[in-house]
Amino acid sequence: MKCGLILLSVALLSGCNTINRNIENAGSAEQLYRSAKQQLDRGDFLGAVEGFETLEARYPFGNFTQQAQLDIAYAYLKQDEFDSTIDAADRYIKLYPLSDSIDYAWYMKGIANFSRGGSALERFFPRDMAKVDQKWLRDAFSDFDTLVNRFPDSTYVPDAIERMTFLHDEMARHELETADYYYQRGAMAAAINRVQHMLERFDGSKHIGNGLAVMASAYRALGQTDLQQQTLRVLAANEPEHPALTNLKK
């Protein structure tokens, strides 16, 4: 038994020595970075991550290692490894809080959360964002919001704002569809509560009018005429041409 343990220890030491020799012989920080970056540019994302990690192991500090952290996040993102993307971005934010590129780290986090639930076929079969895990959308919105507020001059802000607008409407649509689900099943109080939640959280969304229409219909079903009329007045003030104004008055 002791012989077996000795052989195992020797094998482990030999393996460690091989890894150390590989790191020592890998080249300068710049050479390591350029080699890994070439793999990244070729689309060899796994090889690129390994190369950047070798750079970090040999040169834990320096400009090339700092940039490698962002490139690792990007490589993980291209492989749809969203948790790893966020971990790499978070690590960069923690290690380099004063970096000029920290806005890009926040942008990567937002893109990773925004992309969850997608696939290579999304160009042909788009995701229904109102039906994906809403926590992902909330996290993406929060990441982009941090970027916009902390780094208003960042080149990534215009895209972040556009995505935030889209997320705002899709999260509102999720609440609307949930309210309609309750309404169709006769749970009028639940439908009203869901619309109220939508009005509080997603003011300005293009789905507000339809939400008010569901609320007015639910009040009518409950026989609460005063609240129905009050809701219709709010709807008329926001969307005077909404078809529910005619239908519900009938």
Identify whether 100 is part of a domain.
no
Tens digit of each residue's pLDDT (9 = 90 or more) over 198-211: 999 998 899 999 99
Identify whether 140 is part of a domain.
no
In CATH, what number is assigned to the domain containing residue 199? 1.25.40.10
Mean pLDDT of all residues in 221-230:
94
Of residues 92 and 244, the one with the higher pLDDT is 92
Provide the pLDDT for residue 167. 94
Query: What is the domain extent for residue 191?
Result: 166-250
Identify whether 89 is part of a domain.
no
Identify whether 94 is part of a domain.
no
Tens digit of each residue's pLDDT (9 = 90 or more) over 76-86: 999 999 999 99
Q: Is the pLDDT of residue 244 over 90?
A: no
Provide the pLDDT for residue 4. 46
Q: Report d(CA 192, CA 178) in Å as an integer.
A: 10
Whether the CB-CB separation of 231 and 211 falls below 8 Å is answered with no
Identify whether 75 is part of a domain.
yes
Identify whether 188 is part of a domain.
yes
- Domains: count for the chain: 2
Provide the pLDDT for residue 14. 46
Provide the pLDDT for residue 119. 53
Helices marked H in the chain — which ranges? 2-24, 29-42, 45-58, 63-78, 82-95, 102-115, 134-150, 157-184, 188-201, 208-221, 225-238, 243-249
Boundary-marking domain end, from 53, 79, 105? 79
Q: Classify each residue of 9-28 as buried b or exposed e, where b means 16 or more C-beta atoms within 10 Å of its C-beta.
A: eeeeeeeeeeeeeeeeebee
Boundary-marking domain end, from 58, 79, 100? 79
Identify whether 151 is part of a domain.
no
Provide the pLDDT for residue 148. 97
Q: Is the pLDDT of residue 25 over 60?
A: no
Provide the pLDDT for residue 213. 95
Provide the pLDDT for residue 208. 94
The DSSP code for 60 is S
Q: Is the pLDDT of residue 121 over 60?
A: no
Mean pLDDT of all residues in 98-106:
94
Provide the pLDDT for residue 8. 36
Tens digit of each residue's pLDDT (9 = 90 or more) over 181-202: 999 999 999 999 999 999 999 9
Q: Report d(CA 60, CA 93) in Å as an integer.
A: 16
Percent of the chain with pLDDT over 90: 66
Q: Report d(CA 71, CA 84) in Å as an integer.
A: 12
Boundary-marking domain end, from 27, 45, 79? 79
Mean pLDDT of all residues in 45-49:
91
Contacts of 38 (CB under 8 A, 6+ apart): none
Q: Report the mean per-residue pLDDT for the chain.
A: 85
Q: For helices 134-150 and 157-184, give the axis angle rounded to 10 degrees.
A: 150
